[in-house]
């Protein structure tokens, strides 16, 4: 076993991976390469096939089609225990008959390691639960169980670690702390992480590469900044963070920029940030890029005039505004609460401005609402 664990290191490759349950396709012709030692995050709405993908990589589910390779080795049909891969299960799957200590020691013992105390205690310290070593899993709270599941996988220092929402049941502080520990381990030991998470900040701060999945397929893959600043589709733009998408058309060009008409107001857009295929586009701007100004204030960059504050909500770090534009669309604007200045109030007339460099453009025929909510109709393809 330790043979298997030490050999066959290398990149993880998924090629045309497909998994169907009867008529329903949970993962559809998925191909990607995850470089050795990288931190790869898998994001996507509920039910899009993330868990299924991880289970195939772990060897717990046989693909309906496609292959999985680790380095040069095809592991599609390799037994789970022969893969140098460990998993933190979404449902924990702790062994009910073993103590917490023995749960964590399980993998080490299987690899013939005699003296496990040190490693197990370190793992327990890592998840802040050294005092629970002798309890049974049922005597733990939800978050405690999740941390044990994490410790049980990480203690093995596998070549590849699959994490299925490993921190979902933890409070923010603990989650941040665990994130730091995980990142540290990943760098220190050079483990490849494949991480499923619903916490976008987690994905953004931790991952080298993020893949956004939707209905069994990968929509876009890239570095966090790439995905955030330059999303290719409305689904990605909306799913990862929030976006204001405004229908418009390209009316001209000005050096590296294009001139875009948004309901009669002209703005400019960097050519290399456009994924449009023709003149019809969706212009995208993140809400935090917007600045709001009272009508009398002068503004620079791209400006849209004629806004009206529709809603104000205070969320601690910042304030969120809904601004109704003349063409009837509500735009979302975030302003950080750092200046102690009285915020705008509902009904005020305002202008909105932003730096042109922050504009991105999507195909005009993309669904501006994609990724803002799960669309039940789209799922109906099955049955």
Ligand X SMILES: Nc1ncnc2c1ncn2[C@@H]1O[C@H](COP(=O)(O)OP(=O)(O)OP(=O)(O)O)[C@@H](O)[C@H]1O
The distance of closest approach from Cβ of residue 2 to a second copy in the complex, given in angstroms and rounded to an integer, is: 31
Nearest to 276 by CA among 357, 372, 370, 359: 359
The distance of closest approach from Cβ of residue 240 to other proteins in the complex, given in angstroms and rounded to an integer, is: 30
Contact flag: residue 141 with other proteins (CB under 8 A):
no
The distance of closest approach from Cβ of residue 323 to Mg ion in the complex, given in angstroms and rounded to an integer, is: 36
The interface mask with Mg ion, positions 69-98, x = CB under 5 A, is ---------------------x--------
CB-based contacts of 331: which residues, under 8 Å, 6+ apart? 244, 246, 287, 290, 304, 307, 322, 323, 325, 352
Determine the 3-state secondary structure of 142 from DSSP. Answer: helix
Give the residue ranges of DSSP H helices in the chain. Answer: 2-6, 50-58, 100-110, 117-126, 142-154, 172-189, 200-206, 224-229, 234-239, 376-379
The interface mask with a second copy, positions 152-191, x = CB under 8 A, is -------------x--xxxxxxxx-x--------------
177 interacts with, out of a second copy, Mg ion, other proteins, none, CB within 5 to 8 A per kind? a second copy
# binding residues, a second copy (CB under 8 A): 78
Among 44, 49, 59, 307, binds other proteins (CB under 8 A): 59
Q: Which two tokens stand for residue 253?
A: 């060009």
Among 17, 34, 49, 214, binds ligand X (CB under 6 A): 49
Among 5, 14, 30, 51, binds ligand X (CB under 6 A): 51
Do 379 and 215 touch, CB atoms closer than 8 A? Answer: yes
Residue written as token pair 């009910």: 96
The distance of closest approach from Cβ of residue 366 to other proteins in the complex, given in angstroms and rounded to an integer, is: 39
Contact flag: residue 106 with other proteins (CB under 8 A):
yes
Contact flag: residue 280 with Mg ion (CB under 5 A):
no
Length of the chain: 383
# binding residues, other proteins (CB under 8 A): 27
39-43 and 192-196: which strand pairing?
Answer: parallel
Angle at the Cα of 249 (from 245 to 254), degrees rounded to 5? Answer: 110
Interacting residues with ligand X (CB under 6 A): 21, 24, 26, 44, 46-52, 90, 139-144, 169
């Amino acid at each position: 076993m330790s043979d298997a664990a030490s050999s066959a290191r290398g990149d993880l490759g998924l090629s045309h991976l497909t998994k169907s349950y009867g008529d329903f396709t949970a993962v559809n012709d998925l191909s990607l390469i995850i470089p050795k030692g990288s931190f790869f995050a898998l994001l996507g709405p509920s039910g899009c096939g993330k868990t299924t993908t991880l289970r195939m990589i772990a060897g717990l589910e046989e693909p309906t089609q496609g292959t999985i390779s680790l380095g040069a080795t095809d592991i599609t049909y390799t037994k789970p225990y022969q893969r140098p891969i460990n998993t933190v299960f979404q449902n924990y799957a702790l062994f009910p008959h073993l103590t917490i200590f023995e749960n964590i020691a399980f993998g080490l013992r299987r690899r013939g390691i005699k003296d496990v105390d040190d490693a197990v205690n370190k793992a327990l310290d890592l998840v802040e639960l050294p005092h629970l070593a002798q309890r049974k899993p049922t005597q733990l709270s939800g978050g405690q169980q999740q941390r044990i599941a994490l410790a049980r996988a990480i203690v093995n220092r596998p070549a590849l670690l699959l994490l299925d929402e490993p921190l979902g049941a933890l409070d923010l502080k603990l989650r941040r702390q665990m994130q730091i520990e995980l990142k540290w381990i990943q760098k220190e030991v050079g483990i490849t992480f494949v991480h499923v998470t619903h916490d976008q900040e987690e994905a953004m701060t931790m991952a080298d590469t993020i893949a956004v999945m939707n209905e069994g397929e990968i929509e876009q893959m890239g570095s966090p900044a790439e995905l955030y600043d330059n999303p290719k589709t409305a689904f990605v733009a909306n799913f990862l963070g929030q976006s204001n998408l405004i229908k418009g058309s390209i009316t001209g060009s000005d050096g590296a920029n294009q001139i875009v008409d948004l309901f009669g107001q002209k703005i400019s857009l960097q050519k290399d940030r456009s994924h449009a295929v023709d003149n019809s586009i969706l212009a995208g701007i993140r809400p935090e890029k917007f600045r709001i100004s009272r009508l009398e204030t002068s503004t620079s960059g791209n400006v849209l005039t004629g806004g009206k504050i529709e809603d104000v909500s205070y969320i601690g770090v910042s304030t969120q505004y809904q601004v109704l534009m003349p063409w009837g669309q509500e735009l979302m604007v975030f302003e950080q609460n750092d200046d102690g200045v009285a915020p705008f109030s509902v009904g005020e007339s305002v202008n909105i401005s932003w730096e042109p460099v922050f504009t991105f453009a999507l195909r005009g025929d993309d669904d501006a609402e994609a990724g803002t909510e799960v669309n039940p109709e789209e799922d109906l393809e099955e049955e």
